[in-house]
Each structure stands twice: as structure tokens, then as C-alpha cells.
Amino acid sequence: MWFYPKAQTKGCTLEGLALKRDSSAFQRRGVEILGVSFDEPKANAEFAALQGFPFRLLSDTERRLAVVVGAAESPSQPVAARISYLVGPDGKVLQAYPNVDPETHASQVLSDLPQR
């Protein structure tokens, strides 16, 4: 689950495209990619369509999820922090990534996946 600050901005697009590039490797490993931002559903739908993302982008406009998981300090935060979580099949967080490099993050997560 990757939180990104704003749809269709440079860093968010770079990160999304890297995840898209490696999406088949994630699928083979049984990983579902979910993107989350504070953007309205329409903005996220346009972002996904424009970039051809093969994964869902969720809209946390009230910041409820972001506050609970640490992607926002409060509901008044204007944009989500660029942070990701690798979540196991049991719903437990296996790894948190608080310092994400948009260009290399997908590869980093792939290398951290537990072996099957």
C-alpha cells in the first residue's frame, strides 16, 4: 500500500510508473498494489487511466486511513506523506518504508518480499 501526495505530480507519477513496470513481478509473488492519496476519486481515476496503472488507486479524502497508519499526522494535513507499507496476507505490516525514493521504491519492495 503506497501513499502518495498528489495525483499526476512528478514524484507520484514516477513512483506509480515504477510500480506499473514491476506489476507482473508483484502479481507472480501474490502481491496486490494499492495506491492511496487524499485526491478525490475522479482525480485518482483520471491519474490511473492516463498512466495505464493496472492497480487500484484509493481516495482517503477524510484522511482516516492515513492518520491511523501514519501517512498523516492529522485530518487537516493537506497531502499524504510519501510512505508505503508491505502488508502480509494476515493483514500485519511486514515492512514500513517511511523514506521512499519514487524511482527505486518498487525494486526495493520486490527485494524485501518474503520467499515462497
pLDDT in tens, the chain (116 residues): 999 999 999 999 999 999 999 999 999 999 999 999 999 999 999 999 999 999 999 999 999 999 999 999 999 999 999 999 999 889 999 999 998 999 999 999 999 987 76
User: What is the per-residue pLDDT for 114?
Assistant: 76
Separation of alpha carbons 39 and 8, rounded Å: 10
**Structural domains in the chain plus CATH codes:** 2-111 (3.40.30.10)
What's this model's pTM, rounded to 2 decimal places? 0.92
| Region of residue 91 (phi > 0: left; psi between -120 and 50: alpha; otherwise: beta) | left
Catalytic residue among 7, 12, 33, 109: 12
CA distances to 35, 54, 93, 94, 95 from 88, in Å: 16, 20, 6, 6, 9
Annotated catalytic, 37?
A: no
Phi, psi for residue 87 in degrees, rounded to 5: -110, 130
**Assigned C-alpha cell, 19:** 510500480
